[in-house]
């Protein structure tokens, strides 16, 4: 009996142990099932995030490659100058005088194949459309496209902004037209003009010669035909002289597709040119600009009501000499060399007050400097000296390193900050 009793106890213990083991196994299976479910959820989330991760990784890889290429001085090779294609994008609306701009483009264009013309028209103005179309049907112009902005609707704006409707439509048109040039027509670069511009005889030569600089220098983001202080009284006769500038000039300008890839997705709803001048877009990059403008405007009437035209634009000097830029060495515009020479030239110049500069004292000094330290000083001096006095995001028009270069009574004047200049102050606006 005792043996049977012990055996019964042992069996019970074994059964209890087996039941405990089964419970533990069941519990473990439940935990595994929960863990597998969690793992599946995590895997699904990772799969959803994979395209974003791939995109981020691709962009980082591209950034790294670009940085390494820049550090090594390597950029994608350009074809010979004669094989580079730089299309002209003309932004048009309702001016039948677009014919004047087109005629002068065709007059000076050295190659239809190298400089195809794309006229992008907004507004739906039939008379203007007829004029543009005549360049295809009547004049049989090669490499000429007329595209039309498909969205002619008004933009819904609150009452205070309705007076700026024209600026909103212009920004919308620019975005669509540039997307067409780069993403539909697949061009690598573009020269942008508007339907109220005259051009200089060397307009095409200028952009062709400066394109390799734009292409290889990561600190250049545009080339412009415009000098904001380009009045005849403020420029020299040095038609070949070019500058780097921190100010985005516009009015005949060139960018590459890589720049539009950066700017296009965040393009503003209005006032696109001032938006371009913000530090978030400029990113301490510069444009090339000329001493003497390669464009001038005859468009007195427009969204700005002609006020700026009468005060300033009609006095801009348009270059009338052909400079063979493609035969010239433009390496002086490369940043390291340019900065060294520019700083040396500006800060070795004799310092004069604005009144002394205006009165022409020390005529033997062919280059002089007038110094400013505050926003109010700059504006006061600029007004006295006859140059543009406004600033955009802290940058004076045509400035480089805070310095504005211009001519006054036959000699070079630099309106400049102190030599220890620390950079632009965005509150100066």
- Tell me phi and psi for residue 400, to 5 degrees: -135, 125
Phi then psi for 399, rounded to 5 degrees? -80, 155
| Concatenated DSSP letters of 25-82 | HHHHHHHHHHHHHHHHHHHHHHHHHHHHHHHHHHHHHHHHHHHHHHHTT--PPPPPGG
Give the three-state DSSP class for 238: coil
- Classify burial at 367, counting beta carbons within 10 Å of its beta carbon; exposed 0-12, middle 13-18, buried 19 or more: middle
- In angstroms, the CA 280 to CA 171 distance is 18
How far, in Å, CA of 82 to CA of 89, rounded? 20
**Can you state the angle between helices 98-108 and 126-137, rounded to 10 degrees?**
20
Contact predicate 115/86, CB 8 Å = yes
By DSSP bridging, strand 404-408 and strand 286-290 are unpaired
* Residue in 54, 151, 217, 273 annotated catalytic: 273
Active site residue 329: no
CB neighbourhood size of 100 (10 A): 16
Please give the positions annotated as active site.
Answer: 273
């Amino acid at each position: 009996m005792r043996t049977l009793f012990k055996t019964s106890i042992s069996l019970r213990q074994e059964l209890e142990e087996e039941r405990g083991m089964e419970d533990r196994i069941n519990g473990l299976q439940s935990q595994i099932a929960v863990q597998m479910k969690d793992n599946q959820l995590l895997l699904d989330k990772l799969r959803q995030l994979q395209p974003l991760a791939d995109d981020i990784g691709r962009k980082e890889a591209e950034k790294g490659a670009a940085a390494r290429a820049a550090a090594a001085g390597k950029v994608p090779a350009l074809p010979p100058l004669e094989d580079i294609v730089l299309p002209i994008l003309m932004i048009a609306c309702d001016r039948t005088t677009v014919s004047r701009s087109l005629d002068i483009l065709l007059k000076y264009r050295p190659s239809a194949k190298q400089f195809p013309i794309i006229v992008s028209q907004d507004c739906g103005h039939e008379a203007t459309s007829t004029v543009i179309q005549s360049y295809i049907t009547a004049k049989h112009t090669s490499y000429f496209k007329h595209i039309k902005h498909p969205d002619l609707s008004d933009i819904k704006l609150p009452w205070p902004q309705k007076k700026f409707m024209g600026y909103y439509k212009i920004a919308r048109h620019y975005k669509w037209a540039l997307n067409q040039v780069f993403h539909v027509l697949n061009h690598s670069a573009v020269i942008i003009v508007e339907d109220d511009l005259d051009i200089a005889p060397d307009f095409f030569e200028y952009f062709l010669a400066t394109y390799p600089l734009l292409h290889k220098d990561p600190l250049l983001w545009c080339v412009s035909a415009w000098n904001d202080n380009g009045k005849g009284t403020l420029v020299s006769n040095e038609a070949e002289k070019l500058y780097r500038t921190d100010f985005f000039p516009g009015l005949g300008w060139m960018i590459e597709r890589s720049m539009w890839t950066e700017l296009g997705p965040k393009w503003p709803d209005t006032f696109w040119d001032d938006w371009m001048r913000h530090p978030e877009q400029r990113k301490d990059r510069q444009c090339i600009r000329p001493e003497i403008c390669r464009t001038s405007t005859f468009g007195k009437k427009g969204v700005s009501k002609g006020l700026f035209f009468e005060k300033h634009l009609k006095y801009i000097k348009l270059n009338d000499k052909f400079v063979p830029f493609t035969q010239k060495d433009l390496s002086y515009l490369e940043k390291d060399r340019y900065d060294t020479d520019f700083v040396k030239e500006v800060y070795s110049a004799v310092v004069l007050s604005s009144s002394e500069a205006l009165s022409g004292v020390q005529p033997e000094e062919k280059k002089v400097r007038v110094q400013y330290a505050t926003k109010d000083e700059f504006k006061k001096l600029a007004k006295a000296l006859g140059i543009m006095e406004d600033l955009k995001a802290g940058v004076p028009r045509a400035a480089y390193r805070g310095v504005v270069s211009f001519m006054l009574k036959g000699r070079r004047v630099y309106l400049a900050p102190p030599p220890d200049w620390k950079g632009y102050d965005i509150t100066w606006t």
